[in-house]
Amino acid sequence: MLRLASQGASLALSSNSLCNSHIASLACSGLRLWSAAFTTTSNSVPEKLHVCVVGSGPAGFYTVDRLLKRYGDRVHVSILDRLPTPFGLVRSGVAPDHQDTKNVTNQFSSIAADPRVSFLGNVLVGRDVDVNELRALHHAVVLAYGAESDRRLGIPGEDVVPGGGVFSAREFVWWYNGHPDARHLHIDLSKVRSVAVCGIGNVALDCARTLLAPPSRFVHTDLAAHALTQLMGDHQTGGGSAVREVHLVARRGPVQAACTPKELKELLTDCGVSARTAAPDQLTVSEADSAEMKATRLKRRVFELVSKAVADASAADAAAGAAGGSSPQRRRDLFFQFYRNPVEVLRGPDGAVTGLRVERTVVRPDGPGGTSVAVGSGMFDTIPCEMVLKSIGYKSLPVQGVAFDCRRGIIPNVAGRVLQQADASASSPTSASTSGSAEGGPDEVAAANVGLYVVGWLKRGPTGIIGTNLVDAEETVDSLAGDAEALLRAGEMSHGSAGPPGAAGLEALLRQRGVRVVGWRRWRLLDEHELAAGRAAGRVREKVTEVREMLRVCGFAVE
């Protein structure tokens, strides 16, 4: 297969040089490859292109979408997920009070129900089947499994066990969204009064909103039942969450904040919180910041929203003070701790978190690539808290048999074509952002692992919104299409005129191994079960949060 792949690579080179310049000619390449399929073999049976997509979040589904649009009846796609449930972060990341954002699952469901697509849930690549086996069964494999790990703070006190109390935002979001892997995290909000969230992107805001907004906001959503119980309390657990303040801890200032206006406005106006800063320096902006705000509406909006909210809360305090008497404030506090860099998680004698020690920073505009960088000032504060959430970035995990760039946390690639192991270290830091220059020279293209592709966060790093994956998938599918002719020929050489068996072969292999594959119909049983349970409770959906229970509902016999 490797020999064939290298032959394929030289073919890919020639087809690339022909197709390089025009997007329109990529459409023509679709026609060319079919005529090639007709003329290459003596049997002239038009082949299907068999593709396997690993991961069923937006990156995976948009990839399937583009493949179906490009190849019509001439493609069959297997789409795998390690969970019985599809949709990746649309199910387990998007906040429960953002149901509209989940509308995209209607489109994805339509794709999965298409007879040209085989969804295979509850299949873990690395345990149930490996990448090489997938490559042997399909013409091409596209890795789309996202980022299921986290960047670390790398500070003392971060990982003390027992003690706990420190979680990544990913884990906390998985927890309240009912992801089976986070179901049993040791989170007890009845013992937490203050939470320090490191980071100020939209995920940090989601965490703050879930912790601070009145829990009634989530009652009718698909927030996981165990999380709702903790927020609201009941006769067993008592009064519910004790959280009264959340600190958003950001190393730099408001103009560098990664959050966006829509989410910020929601948090500041819809959730009954009072916005605060802990010190006057925290809303200062530099001249460079002011210039940037003038040029960029988004930045201006963020700064205005925060400053106004803080000013309004001060004014409200002053008015309440002037009116005299105790304020009947039930509002919870949201602290914008700009210019604070976490340096230590403080713990008591029993190991429980008591605070986050931070160093005040000064922002200098002379970082790498012209970015601003925060520098310590030697002044320290302690933010009292009982839980710390790290919302400083997701990170992808490597998969066996495929090169991985540990520094950037991505699979090294050029325009979505995965680079071979030997060239992984050569993926140049000068190639912009993450996926490298689309102008990859002949050496890089020749070294590409023909037939193996990557898309989504695994390809470009954990940034962007759902729709960003659409453009990304187009690029990866364009690369795949450029190689398709070579891949089809390679498939014929190794499997005969019918090519590799694709999804049918994969299903047979998994059956042989006793893997309980959750196909689309079985997922729909689980889906209907959750929707019906939700209806009965006046909720959008009542999620099943344990894999065993999911499999039982899907119709598998479980002990």
Partner 1 sequence: MLRFCTHVLRAHGIAASGSSIGFTTVPFFRWSAWLHTSVPNYHKPNSLIDGQEKVDITYIDKEGKEHTVAAQIGENLLEVAHDNEIDLEGACEGSLACSTCHLIFESEDYYKKLPEATEDELDMLDLAFGLTDTSRLGCQVVVTKELDGARVRIPAASRNFYVDGHKPKPH
Q: How far is the CB of 122 from partner 1 (least distance, A)?
A: 20
Reported in sequence order, the residue ranges of 385-502 that DSSP labels E, i.e. its strands, are 387-390, 394-395, 413-414, 417-419, 448-454
Least separation, in Å, of the C-beta of 458 and partner 1?
15
- Tokens in use for 48? 């299907």
Backbone phi, then psi, for 277, in 5-degree steps? -120, 160
Task: Pick from 30, 114, 237, 549 the residue near partner 1 by CB under 8 A.
Answer: 114
Cβ within 8 Å of residue 78, ≥6 positions away: 50, 51, 52, 53, 117, 118, 120, 138, 502, 503, 506
Closest to partner 1 by CB, 131 vs 415, is: 415
CA distance 39 to 489: 11
CB of 21 to partner 1, least distance (A): 9
Is 290 an interacting residue with respect to partner 1 (CB under 8 A)?
A: no
Of 33, 129, 187, 259, the one binding partner 1 (CB under 8 A) is 259
Q: Out of 2, 315, 426, 432, name the contact with partner 1 by CB under 8 A.
A: 432
Interface residue with partner 1, options 2, 10, 69, 348 (CB under 8 A): 69
Hey, how many other C-beta atoms are within 10 angstroms of the C-beta on 226?
15
Pick between residue 346 and residue 533 the one whose CB is nearest to partner 1: 533
> Per CB under 8 A, which region of 105-113, 228-236, 400-408, 490-498 contacts partner 1?
105-113
Taking the complex as a whole, the smallest distance from the CB of residue 450 to partner 1 amounts, in Å, to: 20
- Of 264 and 358, which has the nearer Cβ to partner 1? 264
Q: In terms of CB distance, is 69 or 548 closer to partner 1?
A: 69
Q: Which stretch binds partner 1 (CB under 8 A): 158-166, 196-204, 217-225, 344-352?
A: 196-204
At 195, give phi and psi (nearest 5°).
Answer: -120, 130
Of the candidates 1, 79, 78, 72, the one whose C-alpha atom is nearest the C-alpha of residue 33 is 72
* DSSP string covering 72-136: GGGEEEEEE-SSSS-STHHHHTS-TT-GGGGGHHHHHHHHHTSTTEEEEBS--BTTTB-HHHHHH
Report residue 546 CA to chain centroid gap. Answer: 21
268 lines the binding site for partner 1 (CB under 8 A): no
Residues 439-498 that bind partner 1 (CB under 8 A): 439, 460-468, 470-471, 474-475
What is the smallest separation between the CB atom of 255 and partner 1, expressed in angstroms?
A: 13
Stretch that binds partner 1, among 46-54, 66-74, 351-359, 479-487 (CB under 8 A): 66-74
- Interface residues for partner 1 in 20-59 (CB under 8 A)? 23-24, 27
533 binds partner 1 (CB under 8 A): no
- State which residue, 32 or 301, has the beta carbon closest to partner 1: 301
Six token digits for residue 416: 């979505």
Helices 261-270 and 297-323 pack at an angle, to 10 degrees, of: 10
Residue 111 φ/ψ, nearest 5 degrees: -65, -45
Kindly state whether residue 372 participates in binding partner 1, applying the rule CB under 8 A. no
Please state at what angle helix 58-71 crosses helix 104-112, rounded to 10 degrees. 50
**Does 301 engage in binding with partner 1 (CB under 8 A)?**
yes
Helix (H, G, I), strand (E, B) or coil at 355: strand
Q: From the CB of 152, what's the least distance to partner 1, in Å?
A: 19
CB of 264 to partner 1, least distance (A): 9
Count of chain residues binding partner 1 (CB under 8 A): 57
Q: How far is the CB of 279 from partner 1 (least distance, A)?
A: 26
DSSP states of 26-53 as a string?
Answer: HHHHHHHHHHHHHHHSSS-PPPPEEEEE
CB of residue 460 to partner 1, shortest distance in Å: 7
- What DSSP designation does 436 have? -
Residue 149, interface with partner 1 (CB under 8 A)?
no
Using CA atoms, how far residue 558 sits from 548, 550, 552, 553, in Å, is 7, 10, 6, 10
Instruction: Compute the distance between CA of residue 190 and CA of residue 405 in angstroms, rounded to an integer.
Output: 41
Q: How far apart are CA 79 and CA 127, in angstroms?
A: 16
Binding stretches for partner 1 (CB under 8 A): 23-24, 27, 68-69, 72-73, 98, 100-101, 103-107, 109-110, 113-116, 201-203, 258-262, 265, 297-298, 301, 415, 431-439, 460-468, 470-471, 474-475, 524
